[in-house]
Amino acid sequence: MQFRKTALRVATPVAVLALSLTACGGGDDDADAKPKQSESQSAAEASQSPAEAASGGKLATGESATGKVKEGDAEVTYKITAQKVDIGTEAEAQALVQDKADAKGKVLAVAHVKFTHKAGATLTDSPDANDGTTIWADGQRGALLIGASDDAAGCEDPYDIEGWKQGESHVLCESYLIPANAKSVEVHWSEEDGEPYIWTFPNQ
């Protein structure tokens, strides 16, 4: 899995729609897409505890995963917990994109993920830890919106984080468009080339 770099700061009030909306799963141009898991794979992952899972698996609300991220020239180990997903309205979603048709029948979903630096060097640049975060709805990946969560309550801007050292925690957010009628929302986080850890939240 290639990780994306969101180095481009959004200077306009309209968020950047980062992938095609022809299908909720997006297209081949976004390397964050994950193949849909078979039922047997999902069952096997669900039977493993976070401590037993070599890479990936389903986690209960409040449970944490541990993963490694290449931060600059060093590898950093994080404890990762998906805390919640804030779901907006279709009108709010349409206000975030240039073409309102892109958000028809969709709502904004903002995943709040807490990262705790457990081991490794102090960061000297903005973190890449959140690059492994994606949002899925009813088994399909949503459409990434770059810049939509920059000012969301409870979300920290990774570009404002300096000198992140062991023991420190930060909440980083990702924003996606998902179908308004989705029954469940999943937050996925994975190491590069790893299987995702999955937290499931009801869409209320």
Q: How confident is the model at residue 147 (pLDDT cuts 50, 70, 90)?
A: confident
Report how far residue 159's alpha carbon sits from residue 168's, in angstroms, rounded to the nearest whole number: 16
The contacts found for 52-55 with CB under 8 angstroms, 24 or more apart, are 53/197, 55/190, 55/191, 55/194, 55/195
pLDDT given at position 204: 66
Quick one: CA dihedral 111, 154, 55, 46, positive or negative? Answer: negative
Per-residue model confidence as pLDDT tens digits over 27-75: 333 434 444 444 444 444 443 444 444 579 999 999 999 999 999 999 9
**DSSP-assigned beta bridge partners for residue 82:** 113
Average pLDDT over residues 176-190: 96
Position 2 pLDDT exceeds 60: no
Identify which has the larger pLDDT, 6 or 190: 190
Give the list of residues 6+ apart from residue 11 with CB closer than 8 angstroms, or none: none
Region 130-137: mean pLDDT is: 96
Render pLDDT for 16-34 as a digit per residue (tens, 0 to 9): 666 434 334 443 334 344 4
- Whose tokens are 């949002």? That residue is 135
Q: What is the pLDDT of residue 193?
A: 87
| Inter-residue contact 197 to 188 (CB < 8 Å) | yes
Structure confidence at residue 55 (pLDDT)? 73
